[in-house]
Structure 1
């Protein structure tokens, strides 16, 4: 799969130039934009310590947009873990995350490994802005608003802790 560095749209491997802005595309993932025969990757939403997150469409439920997080291969081949242990931990954490049912926590709906060896998590897609984007747009927030946001964040983290999950990469 290739990606435009400017607009972050995803393309098949034969698209050397982005049709929108003529930027040269880069190979970012092995395989096509159709991950695991089901999730059509459309645009990169973000990048983090574990991997990248894409806006995608669930081809089985054509109108459903989802967020697909691809896991960097080196994350699952940590020197301290045998490959099998890292994969088992990934699967265990995905199942545990999927068990959390809370209005302040994104639902995990699927996970797996593609034929090309890409590990992924499929999550509910919630349109909106991050706390960082909110603060850039507004500059500051009132104490009341900050407390309201912290209550929601804390409730979600508490739900994760109740399931035995220690969140190491919180992005409100």
Structure 2
């Protein structure tokens, strides 16, 4: 598997690049500053470098000059929000630079240019099976692999007669199972080389789930350290699929069902908010839904934080979330509270009803800009899909000012339950 190092300080773009190249079977290494990029360049010896010149710390231009001196064979692709960067004589004369792309970057074209310089090597499936199938963890017998990422694996297991899910994080990635057990359901994720961040996210999810007990939030049974370098979380197994899969299949959901879904999400998030916890990454793929049983569970609290901690971290410039569902204050890297989750739920509500998103743009940066500066308007062609009362609720949820949104999930639920009674089954 070939390695791409992406040196880019914008988290939204990092997510965009990573998701695209992981799907194309590349290994992705992320760096958010020039200094971090230099360290990872030396440590990982990547096959390709994607570089934004406007990065903090060691400048992109300085990093490029270091590469010119020490790694003459590394192909570099420059991405920039500035027009005319390719005219810079210092950059133009650097033989490693194989292409220039202005943001928003056309990903297929970027891949095409990368393959011209570094042809893809087919990924081989390792024959050795180092998996956990049949083994026991805390009284749970592992039955099958149901998902896998760059540094962890998700298993279905039995705890007596009860089905559970075991998430395993490997601090030493060489210990991660890589055999046939994961082939059918393999879902590659970005490899974060910052071990401390991976551990913190994993531990945070476990800690948060112990604080919330609610029918619409996945339950935690156990968590801990295993064999010195392997963390585990044992969670409730829920027979459902991501809400995003249903949306991909059907595009939009009948109004009454959409209201029931949003009501359950709001009930679960209200329980989290009562513990002063905000989700920060509420989106359809983080919601498991069983359509037959008409019930759902919110999952993946690895991005969630206590409100006081969140306000401290955002002062240091952290931005977390998925651009399509991020609140304006989240896009700006400002301090968040529960009203940010209300905005994200408003995006989901609109998407469930219409099959569209409030802001449809060509790139991540344009989406972030729209969340912050463009007024939301309910498209005329979708007005027949929801009564005016529902439309007004979503307008309120998607207000740019958090002070003009619902003050709490409780207040939102009060309005939702009232209007639900007025809608025929």
Q: TM tier, shorter chain?
A: 0.5 to 0.7
What TM-score do the two structures reach when normalised by structure 2? Answer: 0.29
- Within the candidate set 162, 169, 177, 1:71 is matched to 169
Is 2:276 aligned against 1:160? no
Q: CA RMSD in A?
A: 3.5
Structure 2: distance between partners of 1:63 and 1:25: 32
CA contact (8 A) 2:169 2:202 kept: no
From the superposition, tell whether residues 102 and 121 of structure 1 become closer, same or farther in structure 2 (CA, over 3 Å): same
- Within the candidate set 211, 223, 247, 1:111 is matched to 223
Structure 2: distance between partners of 1:131 and 1:50: 25
Higher strand fraction (1 or 2): 1
Deviation of 1:111 (Å): 0.4
Structure 1: distance between partners of 2:150 and 2:210: 20
- Within the candidate set 142, 152, 159, 1:41 is matched to 142
Higher helix fraction (1 or 2): 2
CA contact (8 A) 1:53 1:68 kept: yes
Structure 2: distance between partners of 1:76 and 1:110: 25
Structure 2: distance between partners of 1:99 and 1:143: 33
- Within the candidate set 139, 151, 154, 1:53 is matched to 154
Superposed structure 1 runs of 4+ greater than 6 Å apart: 74-77
User: Cα deviations across residues 144-166 of structure 1 (Å, max 9, x unaligned)?
Assistant: 22222112112212222322333
How do 1:76-95 residues align onto structure 2 when only pairs under 5 Å count? 78=194, 81=196, 86=199, 90-91=202-203, 93-95=205-207
What TM-score do the two structures reach when normalised by structure 1? Answer: 0.63
49-58 vs 104-113, which moves further: 49-58
Structure 2: distance between partners of 1:147 and 1:38: 39
From the superposition, tell whether residues 46 and 130 of structure 1 become closer, same or farther in structure 2 (CA, over 3 Å): same
Q: Which residue of 2 aligns with 1:150?
A: 262
SS in 2 for 1:121: strand
Structure 2: distance between partners of 1:169 and 1:33: 34
CA contact (8 A) 2:133 2:143 kept: no
Deviation of 1:141 (Å): 0.9
43-52 vs 146-155, which moves further: 43-52
The runs of 5 or more residues in structure 1 that have no matched partner are: 1-22
From the superposition, tell whether residues 54 and 136 of structure 1 become closer, same or farther in structure 2 (CA, over 3 Å): same
Deviation of 1:137 (Å): 4.3
Structure 1: distance between partners of 2:208 and 2:197: 21
Specify the structure having the higher radius of gyration (Cα). Answer: 2
Deviation of 1:68 (Å): 0.9
Q: How many residues align?
A: 142
From the superposition, tell whether residues 43 and 37 of structure 1 become closer, same or farther in structure 2 (CA, over 3 Å): same
Q: Which residue of 1 aligns with 2:405?
A: none
Structure 1: distance between partners of 2:269 and 2:149: 19
Structure 2: distance between partners of 1:159 and 1:150: 14
Structure 2: distance between partners of 1:151 and 1:50: 34
SS in 1 for 2:241: coil
Q: Which residue of 1 aligns with 2:234?
A: 122
